[in-house]
Amino acid sequence: MKATTISQLRQWKQEKHKFATITAYDASFAQLFAEQGIPVMLVGDSLGMVMQGHDSTLPVTLEDIVYHTRCVRRGAPKALVLSDLPFMTYSTPEQTFDSAAQLMRAGANMVKLEGGSWLCETVSKLAERAVPVCGHLGLTPQSVNIFGGYKIQGRGEAAAKLLVKDALALEKAGAQLMVLECVPVELARRVTQELTIPVIGIGAGNATDGQILVMHDAFGITGGHTPKFAKDFLAEAGDMRGAVRLYVEQVAQGIYPGEEHSFK
């Protein structure tokens, strides 16, 4: 198995080959995911909720993400690993450079940050310094206190136009990948068509180039609240390896996410 690269993801976009990604936090699951065909893994600040028991991603530290990035890289040496820049670790250029450097040294291939066109200068400066960047638009969990909760974003023409504008601006600034979270299907389709970089959706319908799930959601471990976009692949497949294979297959075939997992 060859190492997954951003060039390969771009080629898949052109070929309309949909790919599955998943969050990973340790070596054992990273290895399991890689063996079942997951090419891209995210060391997400979601670990604050699913592993640390917090009610948001805000308490997660850079040290947390660095530690888990090292673990995932050991378990999946050929996967393309994205690592989140946690809350307030990219508030100034100098802080951003230091944060990104720590994640890249830990084994990340790319860093992910949340926000719109206000981040363009940051994205550009990271790209100039050989740090690949993944943008994140729509529902950005680090902004939960601004949004007033975990709500669907991009509804209404004005909000949709702003999101498209932000996506195009981030791509122009140098972002090489984009995550869209909890936006209407048609908006996700529009962004995917307008960007030349691959777009990964979560709660954004099946028109995006790829899909991502928090691993706990894919296994039905949702802590009492099941997001609309989640699917318990473990219940259907019967074992973890089979669940991951089923996830990969259904994303590739455009079966998942279905209409019941999407927002209009």
Report helix, strand or coil for 252: helix
Which entry of 181, 186, 249, 260 is annotated as an active-site residue?
A: 181
CB 75 within 8 A of CB 47: no
CB 254 within 8 A of CB 18: yes
CB 47 within 8 A of CB 37: no
Alpha helices of the chain — where are they, by DSSP H? 6-15, 27-35, 47-50, 62-75, 93-106, 120-128, 144-147, 157-173, 185-194, 215-218, 233-237, 240-252
Distance CA 219, CA 213 (A): 10
Closest CA to 36 of 234, 255, 254, 241: 241
CB 160 within 8 A of CB 201: no
* Residues in the chain, total: 264
Give yes or no: 181 in active site.
yes
Q: Which residues pair with 112 in a beta bridge?
A: 84, 134
Residues noted as catalytic: 181
